[in-house]
Amino acid sequence: MASKGVTVGLVGFGTIGAGVAKVLINNHDVIAQRLGFPLDLVHVADLDLESDRGIDLGDIRFDSDAPALVTNPDVDIVVELVGGYDFARKLCLDGINAGKHIVTANKALLAVHGNEIFGAASQKGVDVAFEAAVGGGIPVLRALREGLAANEIQSLYGILNGTTNFVLTEMERTGADFEVVLEQAQELGYAEADPTFDVEGVDAAHKLALLTSMAFGSTLDFKSIPTEGISQLTPLDFESAESNGYRIKLLGIAKRHVEADGSETIESRVHPTLIPRSSMLANVDAAMNAVAIRGDAVGPTLYYGAGAGEMPTAGAVVGDLMEIAREVRREQSGRVAPLAFPQETLKPKPLRALGDLVSRFYVRIEALDRPGVLAKITGALGEQGVGIESIHQQGASPGEVSVPVVLWTHEVRESNMRDALKTIDTLAEVTAASNVIRIEEDL
């Protein structure tokens, strides 16, 4: 095996499983560059051997024998994506007993059976990783485990369920009733046919159980978390929230308290919550997720991204695979590279010239308020093919020698823009070098 990569077996070849296979196959090279060795998918198991998942497995073993996969001696790491409780639990425990590391996205399984599964893994000395189980592709578990490890965590607020956040965003936007918006969400694929787990807060509570343990070092205790959903909310609630400067979000909340007698208690709860419009969390819309974590050293932090979906979730699963693969191959691969890629693989890459940037621009020109000046400016722009979206000249106050002309352009190459401004800045009426701000829309 010395020259081969670390090997992966995948149980469950549905939407997320297909995404994981796509990332492992399509991003094989960049993953191998980052790791210093390849990460190879060698075995896939699913009861459905027929459906087209849009990915060619080539000569990778593909069968319906999940129990054989989790003990396959050619597999280093098992990815469990079958979902549910009993069969998934047995696969994980059998894999652990066979010395396999486990990666899973199954929050329900871990919230309910995590104490048993993590205990077995700890005894056997193998890893169980589950970044994809909370916040989809957002590396929030890693932040708690590593980035904020020096902090005593004080509080955590999470928008942990995309379905409910989509419904709340639409109820606020449209003023419609819960049932109407839920039906739309189902039609758009944002809510399942039976939406109970999402709508009543159970999925958020599964995730909050994991986050609470990781924040405070407490045993997993899903069943004790008070949980309320969003089905009782009405349009009036959103109107009243808005007129008072609030928005309504379904939050998972966890806090740590030191009581008067010095003992430690924690809060862990899921319910609709009014939060100030100006807070970062209040601006998390549609199906997006975010977790705000406050540590005693770092203060407030926030992690935002897609909380579900094929590729975000698959990316998180493969991130976990890579971290475990580094452990498996530590002796060969050495340490984590400081710049994320092994030092010897870094290469100079040409920087694109700023003149090649295509963007809309905001331009401010200081010019004397004489007849014909706008014609000269727009003429110079037109010669370079710079389209004008809007132009505004501020009237001069008596005694002022020049006034600002503000214009917003259509998309254009920066070099054309600059050439036009060179001409404009030499006009007799222009009193100072013009000022440009680039516009970015796609963020």
Q: List the interface residues with a second copy, window 95-114 (CB under 8 A).
A: 114
Two tokens, residue 172: 């606020």
Among 306, 315, 320, CA closest to 128: 320
Residue 231 found at the interface with a second copy (CB under 8 A): no
Q: For 42-109, give the DSSP string.
A: EEEE-S--SS--S---TTSEEES-HHHHTT-TT-SEEEE---SSHHHHHHHHHHHHTT-EEEE--HHH
Q: Is 31 in the site for a second copy (CB under 8 A)?
A: yes
Task: Output the smallest distance, CB 69 to a second copy, in A.
Answer: 21
DSSP letter, residue 106: -
The single residue among 163, 164, 213, 409 that binds a second copy, judged by CB under 8 A, is 213
Closest-CA residue to 166 (of 285, 52, 262, 261): 285
Of 196 and 435, nearer to a second copy (C-beta) is 435
Select which of 100, 107, 207, 249 is catalytic. 207
In the list 84, 99, 119, 175, the residue contacting a second copy (rule: CB under 8 A) is: 119
When asked if residue 373 is in the footprint of a second copy (CB under 8 A), the reply is no
Pick the binder of a second copy from 51, 64, 196, 265 (CB under 8 A): 265
- Asked if residue 408 binds a second copy (CB under 8 A), the reply is yes
| Interaction between residue 442 and a second copy (CB under 8 A) | yes
> What's the N-to-C CA distance of the chain in angstroms?
44
Please report how close the Cβ of residue 346 comes to a second copy at its closest, in angstroms: 5
Contact flag: residue 336 with a second copy (CB under 8 A): yes
Q: How far is the CB of 47 from a second copy (least distance, A)?
A: 26
Among 214, 270, 380, 386, binds a second copy (CB under 8 A): 214
Shortest distance, position 250 Cβ to a second copy, whole Å = 11
> CA 108, 198, 301 angle in degrees (round to 5)?
80
Binding of a second copy at residue 318 (CB under 8 A)? yes
- Does the footprint of a second copy cover residue 210 (CB under 8 A)? yes
CB of 183 to a second copy, least distance (A): 22
Q: From the CB of 186, what's the least distance to a second copy, in Å?
A: 22
Q: Shortest distance, CB of residue 256 to a second copy, whole angstroms?
A: 9
Show contacts with a second copy in window 161-200 (CB under 8 A): none
Nearer to a second copy, 12 or 19 (CB): 19
Q: Which two tokens stand for residue 40?
A: 């190879």
Of 41-49, 86-94, 135-143, 163-171, the window that binds a second copy (rule: CB under 8 A) is 135-143
Choose, by CB under 8 A, the member of 118, 184, 200, 415 that binds a second copy: 118
Identify residues 55-84 at the interface with a second copy (CB under 8 A). Answer: none
Nearest CA-CA partner of 282 in 246, 252, 253: 246
Task: Tell me the C-alpha distance between 188 and 168, whole Å.
Answer: 15
Q: Which residues pair with 358 in a beta bridge?
A: 413
What single-letter DSSP state applies at residue 161?
-
How far, in whole angstroms, is CA 270 from its chain's centroid?
A: 21
> For residues 100 and 79, what is the distance between their CA atoms, to the nearest angstrom?
10
Query: Length of the chain, please?
Result: 443
Q: Which of the residues 280 through 299 are near a second copy (CB under 8 A)?
A: 280-281, 283-284, 290, 292, 294-299
What is the number of other CB atoms lying within 10 angstroms of the CB of residue 127?
A: 18
Q: How far apart are CA 361 and CA 355, in angstroms?
A: 13
Q: Which of 80, 131, 170, 198 binds a second copy (CB under 8 A)?
A: 131
Binding of a second copy at residue 305 (CB under 8 A)? yes
CB atoms within 10 A of CB 9: 26
Number of residues this chain uses to bind a second copy (CB under 8 A): 147
Q: Is 337 in the site for a second copy (CB under 8 A)?
A: yes
Could you tell me which stretch among 1-9, 52-60, 193-201, 305-313 binds a second copy (CB under 8 A)?
Answer: 305-313
Within 8 A by CB and 6+ apart from 255, the residues are 154, 155, 156, 266, 267
Q: Work out whether 398 is an interface residue with a second copy (CB under 8 A).
A: no
Answer yes or no: 107 catalytic. no
* Inter-residue contact 429 to 398 (CB < 8 Å): no
Q: CA-CA distance, 251 to 275, in Å (whole number)?
A: 10
d(CA 433, CA 425): 6
Please say which residue, 127 or 203, places its beta carbon nearer to a second copy.
Answer: 127
The two structure tokens encoding residue 132:
């994809």
CB atoms within 10 A of CB 292: 21
Q: Check residue 274 for interaction with a second copy (CB under 8 A).
A: yes
Cα 218 from Cα 235, distance rounded (Å)? 38
Answer for which of 54, 86, 349, 372 binds a second copy (CB under 8 A) is 349
User: From CA 223, how far away is CA 209, in angstroms rounded?
Assistant: 9
Query: Is residue 443 a contact residue for a second copy (CB under 8 A)?
Result: yes
For the annotated catalytic residues, the residue numbers are 207
